[in-house]
Amino acid sequence: MNIDTSVEKSSAYVVSQCQNRYEQMAAAHPRLLKPAITISYQSGAGAHEIAEHLPQILQKTEFKGDSPWAVFDQRLIEEALEEQRWPKKLAEKITEEKRFFIDDLMDDLFGLRPPTWVLVPQVVETTLRLALAGHAILVGHGATVVTANLRNVFHVRLTGSLQKRVERVQKLRNLTAAAAAKIVRKEDYDRGRYIKAHFHARLDNELLYDLVINTDRVSEGDVVAVIVEGARRFFSAL
C-alpha cells in the first residue's frame, strides 16, 4: 500500500466518524433541525450564479426562520480555515482536487497551505455544523455526500452538455474556446477525484440527489424557481 492510499484511508475514517457524530445529534434532536440545501454541479453549469440568487427568494418563503439564508461555496473553505486559524486568503489557492502526499507534506512544512489530512476533515466538520444550523446553501466540496443522511437537507445537482458549459465558462472568464474547455474538463476531473478519494462516492450517482436540473434547457431564473419550489415541497413533507 502506498503512502497516498494510507493517508486517504485515514482521512476517510476521520470523515466517517465526524458524519456519524453529527447524524446522531440530528437523530436525537429532530425538531431542532432547520432546512438546508446542497448544490452539486458540473463545471460551467452555472451553480455559483444560481446559488447567489437563492437566499433572497428563500427568505421570502415560509422557511425564512430567524436567521437569513446564506451561500457557502468558497466561504465554506474560509470558515474551515478560520476555525483552524489559517488565514482566509489561502482559500483562493484551495480547490477540489486530489493532492499527493508529498505535495501536502511540503506545503505543510513550509506553511503554504494546510495539508489535505487536516483540511478535509475540517471542511466536513464545518459542512455538517452549517447543515444542522440550517438556512445554509452549501455548494460543492462534497457537501451532498457529507450530508446525505441528514433528513433536513435538500440535495440539488446541476448538469449540462460539455458544449454549453464550455460556452458559459468562455463568456464568464473571457477565454478562448480551447482554454475554457480545458478548464471545464480539469475541474470536473479534479472534483470527481476529490469525492472518490475522500468520500468513496461518485458525483454522477443520481441516487444522491432529490432534484437534478439540466441548465442547457432551463433559464437561470427558472432554475432558481424550480429549486425553491422543490425545496418548499421537500421541507413541507418533513
Q: What digits encode the pLDDT tens for the residues 157-198?
A: 999 999 999 999 999 999 999 999 999 999 999 888 888 877
Q: Which of 41-50, 156-165, 190-199, 204-213 bottoms out in mean pLDDT, i.e. has the lowest?
A: 190-199
| Mean pLDDT confidence for 98-113 | 43
Query: Three cell numbers at 220?
Result: 437561470
Q: Which residue has the higher pLDDT, 166 or 113?
A: 166
Residue 92 has pLDDT above 80, yes or no: no
pTM recorded for the entire structure: 0.78
